[in-house]
Structure 1
Amino acid sequence: MAHLPLRAAVLCGAAFIALGSSPVLAQDSHPKSPAAADPQSSGTIADIVVTAQKRAESVQNTPLAVSAIGGAALAQRGATDLTSIASAVPGLNVSEQVGQARLTLRGIGVDNISTGAESSVAFNQDGVFFSRSAAALASFYDVERVEVLRGPQGTLYGRNATGGSVNIITNRPTFSTKAGTSLTYGNYDTINTEAYYSTGLTDTVAVRFAGQIQNHAGYGKNVLTDTDIDDKHSQAVRGQLLFEPNTRLTILLGADYYHQNDRSNTYHYFGAAGFTATGTPITPTGLLLGGVDPGPRNVASVRDPANNAQFWGARAVISFKLTDHLSLRSLSAYRSSHYLVNSDLNPIGVNLFPIDFGETSNEYSQEFQLNLDTSRNKLVVGAFYMHEDIDGFIQGPFNLRTLGGPSSFVQGFYSGGHLKTDAAAIFAQDSFSITHKLRLTLGGRYSWERKGVADQSDFDFADAYVPGAPVTVPVHVASKTFGSFTPKIGLDYNIAEKVMAYASYSKGFKAGTFNLGSASPALNPEKVNAYELGLKSTLLDGHLRANLSGFYYDYSDLQVGKVQGQLLVLENAAAAQIYGLESEFTLKPVRDLTIGLNASWLHGRFKRYVTADQARPGGDGHTLDENGVPAFNLAGNTLPQSPNYTIDLSAEYSVHLPNGSLTLRGESYWSDQVYFSAFNLQPMSQPAYNQQNAYLTYRLKSGLRLTGFVRNIGNKTIRASGQVASALLGSPILGFVKPPRTYGLTVAFDY
C-alpha cells in the first residue's frame, strides 16, 4: 500500500469501510430463474445460480471471483452489449475499436485488434467459445444472465482465459407459453426493438425464438460530406429447439444470426504524438497539408466510413444422466464470422491514407464433460477440441503527396493471409468436502495448440493504385506448436453460516501466435502464476452481501500490442506484475431500497519491457533494444486499459402503487486515468473521469413496463481506446469515443 496514490488509497479505503455501513453491486436475479429468491416479497437480496464451474451453484457458494448480472438488471439498464455492464463488474474494462471488443480483466485482455488477434479474456455464449472478439458485441438479447469470472481460468476454460472469462447465458425454451416484446425510442433517432416467444410443441418438445433490431443516427458527422458517422443498424435472430424425451436425456439445438451495416467503427483524431530523434514535436502531415481538426466526435474524410459485419452459428448440446449423480454432456458448435471496415488513417481533411480491415473466420469446436455430483465430490472431467481458419487483411492505397510528391495514389500497404489453428485439451477438477465446512479443490488441464500461417506483407510505392488489384508478393509460410499444463489448487471454508473464505493458486496459459501479415516469427506463449484470497458473506439476515477478493499475478511473456510500420502487432513483454483488491457490496436496509457499491484497486505494472517507438525514434536517450535500436525502458509503466481504481455506486428505490410499482435507479461511476499503450503517453490516455446514469421504471401488474432513461448525464466525451498511427503521417493519435448523452423511453410487455 505504500505506493498507492493518496486519492486511490482514500477511495479504496472508503470501499472497504462500506462493509460496516452501506454499499453496493446488486447481483440481480432474472425473475424467471427458479433459483432466485423473490426480493420484493422477502425484503432480502436475491440470490442467483451460476455455472461458472460448469455446474449449477449459488454465486455465494462459488469459491472464485465471479460477478453475475441477471436478466432483470440487464433490462433495467437497457443493456444491448458488453459495454453496457462494464462498470458493474470490478476490474472489467470494455471498449470497442474497429469493430472489435477490447475486453480487459484485472489489466489483462486484448491489446491488439489486427486481423487474427485473440483476446486473453475468453468469451463464451451458452458454453460455446467465441474466438473472434468482434462477435462478442453481437449477443445481448433475451439473456438470462451474464457471468464474469475474474482471474485465470486455466483448468475449466483453458484456451485464452489468462485474464478471465465472460459467459453469456441466454434464456432456454420453456414448455409453458411465454412471450414478450419491447420498443425503445430515444434521441439520435434511436429505435430499438426486441421480442421473444417460447412454448411447448408437445410434452417433450419446446421451442424459443428471439430477435433484436437496433437503429440510431450518428453520434458524429463526417464534416466533408455531412454524413452521419458512428450510427448503428443491426438485426439479430436466435432459435432454439429443446427435446426432453425422458427424465435422463436432454437435447438442445440452437442457431443464431447477426448482421450490421452502418458507418460506425471509424478512426477519430485525438492529437499529435510524434517527435523527431532530437525531441522536436512533429505536426501530423494532414494538418501541414491544409487539413483540419474536426473535434473528437467528428471526422474529416473524403471517403465516408463503412462497417459491415455478419456472424452466425449453430450448436447442439446433448446431456444424459447415467445415474442420479453422474451425467455426460456433449457440446458441438460451429461459428462463422465476417467483417469489413472502411476507415481512414488521416481523418483530418486530406485524402492521404484510406484503409480497409477485413476478416473471415470459420470455427468448429467440440467439448465432452463428465460430471459427478455427490455430497462429498463435485467432479468435472472433460476434453476439448477446436479448429479455426482465418483469412484477413489490412489494405490501404497511399498518396505520394504525403512524401512531398504529386497528389497521386500508389498501391500502398497490404498485410494479410491465412491463419489456421488446431487446439485440444483434457481437463479435470474436483471439489472434495474434507468436512462439512472445509473443501479442497484440485484441478489440472493440459492444452495443446498448433498454429500455421501463410501471410503476405508489402508497401508498394511503384505501382499506381488499381482497386482490387491482386497482391503478387511472396507468401511467408510457418507453423509452430505450443503446449502447457495449468493446475489449480484451492481451499474454501465456511467461517460461519453464509460466510465463506477461500484461497487458491492457479496457472494460466495463452498460446503463442503469429502476427498475420507481418511475415515475422511466432510469439511466445503468455503464462501467469496467480494467487487469490477471497471472502463471500451474506449478513444481517440476508440484507447485506459483502464479497471481497485480493490477488497477485506474476506474468511472463505478456503479449502486448504496438504499431509497427502500418501494422498493429503483438510482441512479448518480458514480465509483468499485477496485484489488487476488489469489493462487491449490496445493502438492502429496508424492503424497497437497494444500495450497491463495487470498487477495485489495481496495481498492474511491467517488471521488464524494452521496446522501440516509431513515433519517437530517439528513444529515451539511454536504452537500446535487442537490435541496437534506440528504445524505451518501460519497467514500472502501467499496463494498457488498467486504471488504478474504479468505483461504481448505485441506489434503487421502489414505491408500491395500486396497480404496480415505480422504481428510481441512479448510477455513478468513477475511473482513474486509463492508458491506451504501454508507453503511458498522456495524449494517448483517457484522464480520470466520472459518469452518471438514471432510470425511472413504472411496472404494472399486467406485465407492462415503462422505463425512462438518461445515460452519460453530463454528456462527457470519453475516449474508449487509442493508438498512434503511421510515422509516414506524422504519428497522429487515432481512436474511438464512447457514446454521448442518450435518453429515451422503453415500453415492454411480457406475458
Structure 2
Amino acid sequence: MSKFVPARASLAALAFALAIPFQAQAAETENEAAQADSAIQADAADDQGDNVIIVTARRRDEDIQDVPIALSVIDAAQVDSQGLFNINRLTQIQPTLQFYSTNPRNTFVNIRGIGAPFGLTNDGFEQGVGIYIDQVYYNRIASATLDFVDVEQVEVLRGPQGTLYGKNTTAGAINIRTRAPSFTFEGRAELSVGNYDFKQAKATISGPISNTIAARISLSSTDRRGTILNVKTGQNVNSLDNLGIRGALLWQPSDSFKVTLSGDYNIQDPICCVQIYARVGTTQRAANRQYAALIARFPGYAVPSTDPFDRVTDLDANIRARNEHGGVSALVEWELGKFALTSVSAYRYWDWTPANDRDFTGLPIFLKVNNPTQQKQYTQEFRLNYEAERLNFVVGAFAFYQEIRTQGIQEQGPAASAWLLNPTSALSNNPAVLNGVVANNDIRLDNVSLAAFGKLNWKVTDAFTVSPGIRINYDKKDGQYDSVVTGNASNGTRQIVSNVPTSPFFNDPWIAAQRGVQASQFFEVDFSDWNLSYDLNLGYEISDAVNAYATYARSFKTGGVNLNGVPSRADGSAALEVAVIKPEKVDHFEIGLKTKFWDNKATLNLAAFWTDIQDFQASVISNISGSNVLRGYLANADKVRSRGVEADFRVQPSDRFTAYVSGAFTDAKFVRFVDAPCPPELAGGTTVSGTQVPGPAATPGALSPANCDVSGQWLPGVSKWAFSWGAEYNVPATVFGLEGNAYAGYDANFRSKFSSNASRSIYTDIDAYSLQNFRAGFRTDRYDFFVWIRNAFDEEYFESLAVTPGNTGLISAQMPDPRTAGLTVSARF
C-alpha cells in the first residue's frame, strides 16, 4: 500500500466539505454566469437532451457528424456512469479498440488489430496508436494504464492520422481532453466503494482568481485489493493503488488571447502484475525437458491450482509495479481575425520501478527479472489555423526529444540448474551452476523527431469538400545495449559469461552451461530516416442529415532499434544486421456514411476500411547461424492487412431514454510472413538443418523448424466480430425531498475468438466472451447516487494468454476482473 493511502481516505470527505461554502459563494456569483467558458459548456454537453457532440479531431471545433473520419466519443458522463476510468475500460464500449497489458511497460493499444506487435517490449520502437492529453503527445504507452483525471471527453480516431497527429498514428489516435479552468465557481466530488475493498474518490474545484485568471485542481484516487491470492506470501496480488493530481491555471486577458499552464502527477504503486498458470501444452522439446517432467524434479512441489479461475498463485519473487508519470505544459491560443495561432510546449517524465517473477512458478528459478526505466520527453508544437467561408487550413511544426534509460537485472536462483539445463547433463543436478548468475543491463536511447505538416479543407461547392494533407518527418535514434552477465566458474571464482571464444574461462564447463542460458553482449546502433505522410479526404453532404466521405492515406510508423539484445554470431559478436527495424509503410482506404434522422434523435454512422502495411514490425525468434541462444527481437513481416466494416447507432427519442449499438467486423491477418516465430507446438526441438524435415506438431523430441510461415493467419489480439450495446431509462422521482430522476442502465460487449500469441497457437486462442454491466440510481441537477455491478454474470475469460520462456509448454494467463459491485455517490456545485 502506498504512502498516499491516508490522504486518499479523506479525499472525498474533504471535497464534500468544501462543497458547502463553495455552494454559498456560487449562489452569490450567479450574475457572472455569462463569463462561463468551455467548462460550463461541458456541463451542458452532459444534458441528456443534447445531441450535438463537439470534437477537436481535426484540430478545430466541429460537430462529430460533420467530421469525415471514423470517430467515437466518450463524454464525462459516460466515463463516470460506466466506470471507464482508464483506456483499458474503454475497450468495453469501443469494438475496434484493443488493449492488452501484463504491466504498464508491457502494454499494447491497437485499433482494428494494428498498432503494436504482441508479446515483446522494446525501448527502441514506438506504438502505432498515438495518445494525446490536452494536445500533448504521450510517447510512452505506460501512460495508457493511468486513471483519467477530470476528463471532459475522449475521442477515439480510427485509421491513420499521420498528417495532423504525427508519424506513429498508423492505426489511429486517442485524443483526451480534460476540463478547463472556469470563471464561475464550480466543484465536483465523487466517492465509490465496492467489493474487493474497492475505493475510488474524485474531486475538482475551479473558479476565478481575478477577472483574467482562473484555476482548476483535480484529484483522483483508486484503491482495491488484488483479485488473486498468492498462497506463498498471503498477499492479494494484482491490486489497484492509483493517485492522480492535475492542476491548471488559465490567463485570459482578452477574448482573443489565452494561456493555459497545466501540471499533473500520477502514481501507481500496486502489488502487481502477475500472470498465473493457465494450462500446459505439449511442445517439440525433449520429454524430459517439458513442464511435467521438470516439475517432477522438485519432489513435493505442485502448482496450487490448475484451474486459473480459482485465482490463486504461488509466485515466490517480489512483486511490484510502481509507475510514476508527471509533466507540465503551456498552451497558448491567439485568435487573429480569420487566423488562430496555437503553441503547445510540454515536458513529461516517466519512472518505472518493477519487480517480477518471470518463471511463473513458486520455484526459485529466477529471483529477479526487472527493468527499471526512466524517461524524459520534451515537445513543442506550433499551429496556424485559417478559417474562411470556403477555405480553412492548418499548418504547423512539431519537435520531439526523448531520453530513455533502463537498468535491467536478471538473477537466477537455486532451482535454475534443474529447470534450465539439459537433465542428461550432470550439471543440471548441481544447483550451484546457475545459482547466482546475474545479468546487469544498461539500455539507453536518445530519440529526436522533427516534422512540418499541413491540412487543407476546400469547400468546392456547398456540398463537396476536398481535404488534402501532408506531413514530412525526420527521425533519429541512437541506442546502446550493454548486458554484463557474471557467474561462478567451476573453480568458484566469479567470471564474465561471454560468447567470445577467446574470452577467459570460455571452455569452463560451468561458464559454458551459463552461456547456453544467457551471455554478455554490447552493441551500439543508430537509425535515421526521412518520411512523407499524405492523405486525401473527400466529403460530400448528401443532405443536411447525411454526409458521405472517402479517404486515402499514406502513412508510416518510424523505424526503430532492437534494445533487448540481438542474436550473437559464431564469433560472439552481435548480429547488428538485425539491430535496426525498418519503418512500416501504410496504405489506407476508407469510405463512410454519417447520418442523422428522426429529428436528430438518432444517428447511424458506417465505415468500411482496407489497410495494407508493408514491413510490419513484428516479433521474431533468432535463426542466426552459430547463435547459441534463441533470442526474440523485432523485425519486419513483409505485409499485413486489416479490412472490415463498422457501424455505430445511437438513439435518444426523449429525455427519458437513450440507447446505442456499435459493431465491427475486422479481418486482420498476415498476408506474407514467412520467417515468423513458431508457435510452441512447433518449437523446442533440435532445429532442422540441410534437408531435414520438421517433425509433427506437439511431438516431444521432434525436429523443429527454424521459423514458420504464418502467411494467411490472424493478427494477434483482434476479434473478427466485436459489439457493444447499452441503454438507459429514467423516470421523474422524489427521494428525501429531492426532485430528480430515477434511472436504470445496462451496458454489454461481445468479442469473438482471437489469437493471443505472435504466431497463432492451439494453446493460446482466447474463446469468445461477453460481459454484462448494470447500474441503477437517482440523480438531480446536483447529486447522483447509483449502485452498479460489472461482469454481472462472472464471465470466466482471459485477457491474454502467453507462452512462457523455454518451450516447456507452460501457458500463463493475464486474468481480468471477476464480478464486481458497488455504490457511487457524487455531487457538483
User: What is the aligned partner in structure 1 of residue 647 from structure 2?
Assistant: 583
Q: Deviations over 1:603-627 (max 9, x none)?
A: 0010111223384145899689xxx
Structure 1 position 90 matched with structure 2 position 107 = no
Contact 1:364 1:386 in 2 (8 A): yes
Q: Distance in 1 between matches of 2:207 and 2:347?
A: 26
Relative distance call for 1:465 and 1:31 in structure 2 (3 A) is farther
User: What is the aligned partner in structure 2 of residue 524 from structure 1?
Assistant: 582
- Secondary structure at the residue paired with 2:210? coil
Contact 2:620 2:677 in 1 (8 A): no
Contact 2:408 2:440 in 1 (8 A): yes
Pairwise CA distance, 1:401 = 2.9
Q: Deviations over 1:629-664 (max 9, x none)?
A: 622110011001111010111111111114101111
Match of 2:418 among 401, 404, 408: 401
Letter in 1 for 2:459: S
Pairwise CA distance, 1:272 = 2.8
Relative distance call for 1:614 and 1:719 in structure 2 (3 A) is closer
Q: Distance in 2 between matches of 1:62 and 1:166?
A: 16
Pairwise CA distance, 1:666 = 0.6
User: What is the aligned partner in structure 2 of residue 715 from structure 1?
Assistant: 794
Relative distance call for 1:569 and 1:697 in structure 2 (3 A) is farther
Q: Distance in 2 between matches of 1:676 and 1:747?
A: 38
Aligned pairs for 1:158-307 within 5 A: 158-273=166-281, 275-276=283-284, 282-283=290-291, 287-288=295-296, 289=298, 290-294=301-305, 295-296=307-308, 297-307=311-321
Match of 2:82 among 74, 77, 94: 77
User: What is the aligned partner in structure 1 of residue 719 from structure 2?
Assistant: 643
Contact 1:286 1:350 in 2 (8 A): no
Structure 2: any 5+ residue segments left out of the alignment? Answer: 1-37, 422-427, 498-517, 567-575, 623-628, 696-703
Q: Distance in 2 between matches of 1:589 and 1:641?
A: 36
Q: Distance in 2 between matches of 1:172 and 1:369?
A: 20
Aligned pairs for 1:351-750 within 5 A: 351-354=364-367, 355-398=369-412, 399-402=416-419, 403=421, 404-408=428-432, 409-457=435-483, 460-462=486-488, 473=520, 475-519=522-566, 520=576, 521-561=579-619, 569-610=633-674, 611-613=676-678, 615=680, 616-617=683-684, 630-658=706-734, 659-701=739-781, 703-727=782-806, 730-750=808-828
- Secondary structure at the residue paired with 1:605? strand
Contact 1:563 1:725 in 2 (8 A): no
Relative distance call for 1:465 and 1:704 in structure 2 (3 A) is farther
Aligned pairs for 1:113-152 within 5 A: 113-116=120-123, 117-152=125-160
User: What is the aligned partner in structure 1 of residue 161 from structure 2?
Assistant: 153
Q: Deviations over 1:353-377 (max 9, x none)?
A: 2321321111001100000011111
Q: Distance in 2 between matches of 1:32 and 1:244?
A: 16
- Secondary structure at the residue paired with 1:55? coil
Higher strand share: 1
Q: Distance in 1 between matches of 2:327 and 2:475?
A: 23
- Secondary structure at the residue paired with 1:73? helix
- Secondary structure at the residue paired with 1:631? coil
Letter in 2 for 1:119: Q
Q: Distance in 2 between matches of 1:334 and 1:433?
A: 38
How many residues are matched?
Answer: 710
Relative distance call for 1:284 and 1:435 in structure 2 (3 A) is farther
Match of 2:353 among 336, 340, 343: 340
Letter in 2 for 1:709: W
Letter in 2 for 1:522: V
User: What is the aligned partner in structure 2 of residue 331 from structure 1?
Assistant: 344
Structure 1 or 2, whichever has the larger Rg, is: 2
- Secondary structure at the residue paired with 2:472? strand
RMSD over aligned CA atoms reads: 2.6
- Secondary structure at the residue paired with 1:202? coil
Relative distance call for 1:122 and 1:209 in structure 2 (3 A) is same
Relative distance call for 1:249 and 1:285 in structure 2 (3 A) is farther
Letter in 1 for 2:330: A
Contact 2:46 2:77 in 1 (8 A): no
Relative distance call for 1:609 and 1:412 in structure 2 (3 A) is farther
Letter in 2 for 1:300: D
Relative distance call for 1:156 and 1:302 in structure 2 (3 A) is same
User: What is the aligned partner in structure 2 of residue 20 from structure 1?
Assistant: none
Letter in 2 for 1:407: P
Q: Distance in 2 between matches of 1:505 and 1:406?
A: 62
Using the size of structure 1 for normalisation, the TM-score is 0.90
Pairwise CA distance, 1:88 = 1.5
Larger relative contact order (Cα-Cα within 8 Å, sequence gap ≥ 6)? 1
Pairwise CA distance, 1:55 = 0.7
Relative distance call for 1:676 and 1:173 in structure 2 (3 A) is same
Q: Distance in 1 between matches of 2:531 and 2:477?
A: 15
Relative distance call for 1:427 and 1:397 in structure 2 (3 A) is same
Q: Distance in 2 between matches of 1:663 and 1:493?
A: 39
Q: Distance in 1 between matches of 2:770 and 2:286?
A: 38
Structure 1: any 5+ residue segments left out of the alignment? Answer: 1-29
Q: Distance in 1 between matches of 2:152 and 2:526?
A: 41
- Secondary structure at the residue paired with 2:400? strand
Letter in 1 for 2:661: L
Pairwise CA distance, 1:253 = 0.3
Relative distance call for 1:342 and 1:284 in structure 2 (3 A) is farther
User: What is the aligned partner in structure 2 of residue 10 from structure 1?
Assistant: none
Q: Distance in 1 between matches of 2:176 and 2:765?
A: 30
Contact 2:640 2:672 in 1 (8 A): yes
Relative distance call for 1:271 and 1:415 in structure 2 (3 A) is farther
Q: Distance in 1 between matches of 2:620 and 2:81?
A: 38
Pairwise CA distance, 1:305 = 1.2
Q: Distance in 1 between matches of 2:143 and 2:397?
A: 24
Contact 2:39 2:181 in 1 (8 A): no
Letter in 2 for 1:650: G
Relative distance call for 1:664 and 1:614 in structure 2 (3 A) is closer
Contact 1:155 1:429 in 2 (8 A): yes
Relative distance call for 1:38 and 1:277 in structure 2 (3 A) is closer
Q: Distance in 2 between matches of 1:342 and 1:209?
A: 33
Letter in 1 for 2:652: K
Contact 1:666 1:692 in 2 (8 A): yes
Contact 2:792 2:819 in 1 (8 A): yes
Letter in 2 for 1:612: P
Q: Distance in 1 between matches of 2:294 and 2:51?
A: 56
Letter in 2 for 1:738: P
Report which stretch shifted further, 562-571 or 286-295.
562-571
Letter in 1 for 2:312: N
Contact 2:149 2:246 in 1 (8 A): no
Q: Distance in 1 between matches of 2:221 and 2:44?
A: 29
Report which stretch shifted further, 614-623 or 595-604.
614-623
